[in-house]
Amino acid sequence: MFDLKGKVAIVTGGNGGIGLGMARGLASAGARIVVAARNQEKSRAAVAELARLGPEAVTIAVDVADEASVGALVRATIDRWGRIDILVNNAGTNIRKPAQDLALEEWRRVIDTNLTSAFLCCRAVHPAMKAAGAGKIINIGSMMSIFGASFVPAYGASKGGIVQLTKSLACAWARDNIQVNAVLPGWIDTELTREARQQIPGLHDNVLRRTPAGRWGVIDDLAGIAVFLASSASDFITGAAMPVDGGYSIQG
Ligand code: NDP
């Protein structure tokens, strides 16, 4: 039920953090992985690790905010392996400022990287998935898909948008047998949140206090949900937004 042998997965931002944690899960379940990100040094290191866990992994450089670059990623994947079964839209960024200090260019950079990217990647893989008669898309939201915070106007808008985009695509493509779901990670220890810990006083202790599990997540906490949502085990689940957060979102 969780076997991904023969499947091909594109993981955007798969060269580190949550994307790498999900890619590890997918590779261990037998999928071939395309690590799709900008930093090729990081991507090569991730590919070397993933190739030890699973059948095969490659890196294809992409800027997910760029339509032509996303098109080239999808064409290169099909040229190499002839199929795309799984897409993980994980690439993301944040600029932490209150709205009154956020420049339009900064707003656009966050929305383009976190939200428009997911639209572009989903649209680009749809023809191959439809032709194959099946597909699995996993979009990465956040606790900011649910909650607000004063310093994340663009990030929060992008992550709220991810959930609604997920629902629209899930409705549109259900009859193509393409399931589209969102994962909402809690606070996970990555480069992104290490930067946040430096910028937001008290964040580390607040996360520990507020998370019922009493710890920060690690990237391997995301491996299981990736395998579940990429496999036939989740064939009747679509349009869902699933927290993976040690209980952060359910504690009042
Ligand atoms: P990291 O900073 O570790 O990873 C971000 C990844 O996105 C990198 O692999 C980066 O690769 C890639 N990326 C960024 N911009 C682009 C771009 N324009 N084109 C292609 N790839 C890009 O952060 P996380 O692992 O923490 O974050 C991953 C996702 O999880 C994000 O969507 C984030 O919002 C979300 N998230 C994280 C949480 C956490 O606690 N860590 C909580 C909730 C959600 P490169 O720089 O090489 O391009």
Tens digits of pLDDT across the chain (252 residues): 999 999 999 999 999 999 999 999 999 999 999 999 999 999 999 999 999 999 999 999 999 999 999 999 999 999 999 999 999 999 999 999 999 999 999 999 999 999 999 999 999 999 999 999 999 999 999 999 999 999 999 999 999 999 999 999 999 999 999 999 999 999 999 999 999 999 899 999 999 999 999 999 999 999 999 999 999 999 999 999 999 999 999 987
Q: Which residue's alpha carbon is at the smallest distance from atom 19 of ligand 1?
A: 63
* Alpha-carbon span 245 to 233, nearest angstrom: 21
CATH number at residue 157: 3.40.50.720
Q: Any idea of the CA torsion for 12, 14, 20, 21, to the nearest 10 degrees?
A: 10
Q: Is 248 assigned a catalytic role?
A: no
Which is the closest atom of ligand 1 to the Cα of 143?
43
Residue 3 lies in a domain: no
Mutate to test the pocket of ligand 1, among 11, 38, 198 (most ligand atoms within 8 A of CB): 38
151 occurs within a structural domain: yes
Q: Which helix (H) or strand (E) holds 245?
A: none
User: What is the CA(181)–ligand 1 centre distance, in A?
Assistant: 18
Chain segment 193-207, per-residue pLDDT in tens: 999 999 899 999 999
Does a structural domain hold residue 143? yes
156 within some domain: yes
Report the distance separating Cα 190 and Cα 222, nearest Å: 12
User: Does residue 85 lie within any of the structural domains?
Assistant: yes
Whose CA is closest to 14, among 53, 59, 51?
Answer: 59
Quote the ligand 1 centre to 117 CA distance (angstroms): 12
- Report how far residue 180's alpha carbon sits from residue 162's, in angstroms, rounded to the nearest whole number: 11
What is the domain count for the chain? Answer: 1
Neighbours of 141 (CB within 10 A): 26
Q: Whose CA is nearest to atom 31 of ligand 1?
A: 92
CB 129, CB 84: distance < 8 Å = yes
Supply the residue whose CA is at minimum distance from atom 13 of ligand 1.
Answer: 91
- Give the structural domain span for 98: 8-245
pLDDT (0 to 100) of residue 229: 99
In whole angstroms, give the CA distance from residue 50 to residue 31: 10
Beta carbons of 90 and 21 less than 8 angstroms apart? no
Residue 200 lies in a domain: yes
pTM of the predicted structure, to 2 decimals: 0.98
- Say how far apart CA 156 and CA 74 lie, in whole Å: 28
**Residues 152-174: tens digit of each pLDDT:** 999 999 999 999 999 999 999 99
| CA 175 to ligand 1 center in whole angstroms | 31
Structure tokens at 38: 């900008």
Residues in contact with ligand 1 (CB, 6 Å cut-off): 12-13, 15-19, 37-39, 42, 62-65, 90-93, 113-114, 140, 142, 185, 187-188, 190-193
What is the structure's pLDDT at 36? 99
In a domain, 157, yes or no: yes
Give dist(CA 52, CA 55) in Å, integer: 8
Measured at the alpha carbon of residue 22, what is the angle toward residues 173 and 122, in degrees to the nearest 5? 25
Relative to the CA of 16, which ligand 1 atom is closest?
9
Within a domain: residue 93? yes
Of the residues 119, 155, 173, 187, only one is catalytic, namely 155
Pocket probe mutation, ligand 1, options 18, 89, 115, max atoms within 8 Å of Cβ:
18
Among 190, 208, 215, residue to substitute to test ligand 1 (most atoms within 8 Å of Cβ): 190
**Predicted local distance difference test score (pLDDT) of residue 252:** 78
Query: Does residue 62 contact residue 72 with C-beta atoms inside 8 Å?
Result: yes
Ligand 1 center from residue 192 Cα (angstroms): 7
Phi then psi dihedrals of residue 59, to 5 deg: -115, 135
